[in-house]
Amino acid sequence: MSVLDLKEKSVGNVAIIGHIRPDGDCIGSCLGLFNYLKAVYPQVETKVYLGDPAPRFAYLKGFDQINTIFAQEVSFDLCICLDCSDEERLGDGKPILQLAKHSICIDHHVTNTRYAGENVVEPEASSTCEVLYGLMKEEGITREVAECLYTGIIHDTGVFKYSCTSAKTMAIAGRLMETGIDFTDIIDGSFYRKTYLQNQILGRALLESVSFLDGKCIFSVVRLKDMKFYGVTSKDLDGIVEQLRLTEGVECAIFLYEIESQIFKVSLRATGDLNVAEIAGYFGGGGHIKAAGCTMSGTIYDVVNNLSAHIEKQLKELTNSCTTE
Ligand code: 5GP
Ligand code: MN
């Protein structure tokens, strides 16, 4: 029996929530589940809450029904948390979880803390959308649901290229394609296409990047004043860390953007055997082995120095384990 079998749960209303600053997998899984539950259980009142979703996902059905103001003091029969590794990352959604009579967490983060009543966590899955697909009945996977799930999968796999992509991921994507989705448009429109300003800030971040640890590490930062100058927000910075990671010789890419004066959101990406989930975890964040993040305070110099000490340590351990084998 699937955790999504609501008949077994006598549920009148459901709240679907994701993590703060929702990415493609978070928005795709939340709207995929929203459309699925509306199709399979039309009698159940289903609501989706997400903070400030990026307009590039507006083609997904249900995008216009996302509640960006979170319910307060409402006790839902069921709260389903998607793509969120811990309660703190639910942000303003945390009270919805705490007041709900029942809760389910569906996720794929290795750092997930199993904070809900029922937890379906598959760290080997490419994305939450992949986990969700496995919990859905075939007949409920309409074209609209497929568009959402496909979007989540391409975002968390970098369009099927990251090492989290498996034969199973491809098989699921193939099945989703059979519903008639316009996959070319989804991939270009939500993943690759950039606005003029997004390209400008990407260019600026690459131009100002700094290579260190013999080229094994690279970092760049976007400050609040830069965002103001270019007229962009954090949602326009997607893809910068990935471009840094693709620099030849780089084993770890660090991208920072300033949230408040001297408070930085940190994105870490690894190639090779580095484990950045461990480093992000040390600084109170989390994520996946090759893609993780955290929030750190101090000067840029402090933040990068603290991170690089951990990266250097791991790189040394990896070299030692190679030479002793
Ligand atoms: P990104 O660098 O794209 O923001 O995040 C990469 C991965 O790390 C995502 O899976 C994201 O959920 C996770 N992540 C990013 N920031 C944090 C954080 O502050 N805490 C936790 N637990 N996970 C994070
Ligand atoms: Mn995800």
Check if 6-192 and 196-324 are the same fold. Answer: no
The class level of CATH for 6-192 reads: alpha beta
CB 103 within 8 A of CB 97: yes
Could you say which of 3.10.310.30, 3.30.2130.10, 3.30.56.10, 3.90.1200.10 is the CATH number of the domain covering 196-324?
3.10.310.30
Report whether pLDDT(302) > 60. yes
Angstrom distances, CA of residue 34 to CA of 38, 46, 231: 6, 7, 32
Measured N-to-C along each axis, helices 24-40 and 143-157 cross at an angle, to the nearest 10 degrees, of 160
Of 26, 30, 89, the one to substitute when testing ligand 1's pocket (max ligand atoms within 8 A of C-beta) is 89
Residue 286 beta carbon below 6 angstroms from any ligand 1 atom: yes
Domain boundaries, the chain: 6-192, 196-324
Residue 285 beta carbon below 6 angstroms from any ligand 1 atom: yes
Instruction: Supply the residue whose CA is at minimum distance from atom 12 of ligand 1.
Output: 287
- Angle at the Cα of 13 from the Cα atoms of 24 and 65, rounded to 5 degrees: 40
Which tens digits make up the pLDDT trace of 136-181? 999 999 999 999 999 999 999 999 999 999 999 999 999 999 999 9
What atom of ligand 1 comes closest to residue 241's alpha carbon?
A: 2
**CA 258 to CA 25: how far, in whole Å?**
23
| Beta-bridge partner residues of 47 | 15
CB 82 within 8 A of CB 106: yes
Residue 323, pLDDT score: 66
Angstrom distances, CA of residue 305 to CA of 44, 58, 65, 213: 51, 39, 43, 11
Residue 296 beta carbon below 6 angstroms from any ligand 1 atom: no
Residue 89 beta carbon below 6 angstroms from any ligand 1 atom: yes
What atom of ligand 1 comes closest to residue 26's alpha carbon?
A: 12
With tokens 């990026």, the residue in question is 54
Q: Which of 150, 115, 144, 112 is nearest to 129 (CA)?
A: 150
pLDDT band at 228 (very low <50, low <70, confident <90, very high): very high
